[in-house]
Structure 1
Amino acid sequence: MPRRKALKPSRTRGRGHKKGRGAGLRGGRGNAGCHKTKRIMYERVGRVWGAHGFKRPQSVVHANTSINLNTIEEMCDKWIADGVATKKGKVISLNLQSMGYDKLLSTGSTKQSYKL
């Protein structure tokens, strides 16, 4: 028989008498005293109480539009045909900012020379 069920018919349910009354015996009601008396519960549950970290202001946060080197390699001929990029000898000139890109990523390899 489970302990809880066994204690059900008893008068004090295993708590004794005067000292077993109220919430003082169990360290307060609910989450009271979590940072002190109920340290073991706090450690098992993890970081739950209190503020964590901060939120950056939306005026500062902006999304970068990035492009990879292998994408430049693939799109190069199309951009030259459209007039966005120019080819002088073996060097291809591109202005990524005017095309709307903020960041250049280094994924991939290039077979041609670029001036970005």
Structure 2
Amino acid sequence: MATRLRKTRKLRGSRTHGWGQVGQHRASGHKGGLGVSGQLKHHFSSMLRDNPDHFGHDSTRPPHSNDAKRWAAVRDLGDLYERHGREEGGRRIVDLRAAGYDKLLGGGSPGGAYAVIVDRFTPSAAKKVSDAGGEIVGQDDAGAQEIRVEGDG
């Protein structure tokens, strides 16, 4: 490779190699940063000219709810009873509404008969709780009316 014919060989000793004052063509310091840096500071006027909608929100986008949903599984009823449960008339009652849970899911097995108060529940959760001799008061996945699912016990 004939490196002796390249422009760099001719520019040896010239300090800036044709890039003007010392410091130009070095990183990005002379232009105020890389990319979109300084949009609210020293590049503000450029931002207003080139991309005036860069900051702010899009008002046509509908707002979304940030309400976090909490679920509990059937396997957790024992622990939830110890923390949030009460006993009335010989029945163990777990009030998931008061504990902040929105829905009872059907994972696991209940490990006892519980009367569960919850806003929503799955069909498998209702079957498992009723098979264990408990009951659920709330709305099922499809229904809008409040229903009561009771077991054998």
Structures share fold, TM-score greater than 0.5: no
Compare relative contact order (CA 8 Å, sep 6+) and give the higher one, 1 or 2: 1
